[in-house]
Amino acid sequence: MKKILVVLMILICATSLFAQAAKEAAVVEETTTHIIVDHQGVEVEVPKKIDRIGVYNIYPLPSVITVFFNNANKLVAMSKPSLTAAQNGLLGKLYPEILDVDTASVTGQINIEELMKKNPDIVFINGGDAASRKLLNDAGIPAVGISVNKWDYDCIETLDNWIALLAELFPEDADKVQIVHDYSYKIYNEIQDRVKDIPQEERVRVFVLFQYSPSTMLTSGKHFFGQWWCDAIGAINVANELEKDNSSPVTMEQVYAWNPDAIVITNFTAAQPETLYTNGMGNDDWSAIKAVQDKRVYKTPLGMYRSYTPGADAPVSLLWWAKAIYPELFADMDLTAIAKDYYKTVFDVELSNEQVASIFAPPSSAAGGF
């Protein structure tokens, strides 16, 4: 009888211990993930500790992630255009490790089996891309939706929101949210102060050459980043009558009709100011356009990414736009010094003068595909 009692006691102790252990295990299980709300408003369960990140199709995001951590070690997959920009810009020089990030699994369409081999903890996707979200969820990979156009193509607000979402995923770097926000709006507000009194008829009329090949010319209508850049520096986007979302095709004849005062060429085309000065693309003759006659054609900077889109460079790019379009108004602002200060203050990245200079003189190959 005693023996039975002892055995029973032991059994009870064992089970309660086991239960305790199980309970503890469950507690550990509970705390390894948490729920966040992504830009699409979807609740996503993500691991608390994220070491491996994939980025599908949001081309500027890998550069933002890289400067956010000041290294590219967490990136395991990104789309090819992100790599091209890194190869041609400063990003690849500052963080050579980004050049080895896999692109095969997430270029074009997601190759889910290749991507699973990379074992990402989370993958960032375009918020509205429901098909990719389902594909990733079916494979057990949390898909975090990022938005590029939710904030009316406002590059600074978009960057703010990207950093905020990153801070939610990586709370140890949460202080960056405020730093980025403050710096961006310091520059933005300074620009507003200086341009607000320019009378409407004296505002510079800008044509944004978003993409340019022998067969196609694309610009930014009212609903694309070009409109925001122009608005943000007190210039007029000549193509603001175009209602098409994203880029809009435009003809040379239309450019003649607009006859812009200045032209800004993005890094989504190999064209340089020289290309327009020498009529070097297709059959287009630019010589009668005011901007070309006045030699007022500018190429956007290529910092961490093609800076026409939102990205880590947004505040510096904004100042570049302002200085390019209104040189006298911003003559006292030293772009190089401010760029260095921005990267140091916000991301703790030290840039040399040569590196900053390379941001503002991007090569044509930055537009290259493959």
Partner 1 sequence: MVIPVPLIISSVLSKIGIGDPASSAIEKVLWNIRLPRIILASLAGIGLSLAGLSFQSLFANPLATPDTLGVASGSSFGACLGILMGFSLRGIQLMALALGLVAVSITWVCGRQKGRGTTTIVLSGIIIGSLFNALVSLVKYVADTETQLPSITYWLMGSMSGKGYSTLTIGSPLIVLGIVLLFLMRWRLNILPLSDDEAKASGTDIKKLRIAVIVIATALTASCVSMCGQIGWVGLIVPHICRMALGNSHEKLVPSSISIGATFLVVVDTMSRTIATSEIPISVLTALLGAPFFIVLMKKNGGWTL
Binding positions for partner 1, rule: CB under 8 A: 59, 80-81, 84, 108, 211, 213-218, 221, 239, 241-242, 244, 247-254, 256-257, 259, 268-270, 282-285, 287-289, 367-370
Q: How far apart are the first and last CA of the chain?
A: 82
CB of 282 to partner 1, least distance (A): 5
Q: Which of 234, 260 has the CB closer to partner 1?
A: 260
Q: Which of 98, 346 has the CB closer to partner 1?
A: 98
Tokens of 139: 């494979």
Nearest to 187 by CA among 344, 339, 355: 339
Handedness of CA 60, 65, 70, 71 (dihedral sign): negative
CB of 359 to partner 1, least distance (A): 19
Q: Which of 336, 364 has the CB closer to partner 1?
A: 364
Rounded to whole angstroms, the Cα distance separating 265 from 283 reads 18
Contact 362, 267 (CB under 8 A): yes
Q: C-alpha 327: how far from its chain's center?
A: 27
């993409």: which residue's tokens? 211
CB of 255 to partner 1, least distance (A): 9
Rounded to whole angstroms, the Cα distance separating 214 from 249 reads 13
3-state secondary structure of 332: coil
CA atoms within 13 A on the CB side of 204: 28
Alpha helices in the chain (DSSP H): 2-31, 61-69, 80-88, 90-94, 112-117, 130-138, 155-169, 175-195, 225-232, 252-258, 273-277, 290-293, 314-325, 335-347, 353-359
Q: Which of 35, 257 has the CB closer to partner 1?
A: 257
CB of 149 to partner 1, least distance (A): 15
CB of 156 to partner 1, least distance (A): 22
Q: Which of 203, 290 has the CB closer to partner 1?
A: 290
Q: Which of 34, 80 has the CB closer to partner 1?
A: 80
In DSSP notation, 283-314 reads T---TTSHHHHTT-EEE--BSSSBTTSSSTTH
CB of 91 to partner 1, least distance (A): 16
CB of 319 to partner 1, least distance (A): 25
Q: Which of 230, 349 has the CB closer to partner 1?
A: 230
Q: C-alpha 35: how far from its chain's center?
A: 24
The 8-class DSSP code of residue 367 comes to: G
CB of 213 to partner 1, least distance (A): 4
Amino acid sitting at position 101? V
Q: Which of 43, 253 has the CB closer to partner 1?
A: 253
CB of 140 to partner 1, least distance (A): 27
Tokens of 11: 């059994």
Contact 123, 143 (CB under 8 A): yes
CB of 266 to partner 1, least distance (A): 10
User: Which pairing describes strands 33-37 and 262-265: parallel, antiparallel, or unpaired?
Assistant: unpaired
Q: Which of 184, 272 has the CB closer to partner 1?
A: 272
Nearest to 94 by CA among 349, 316, 267: 349
Q: Which of 217, 316 has the CB closer to partner 1?
A: 217
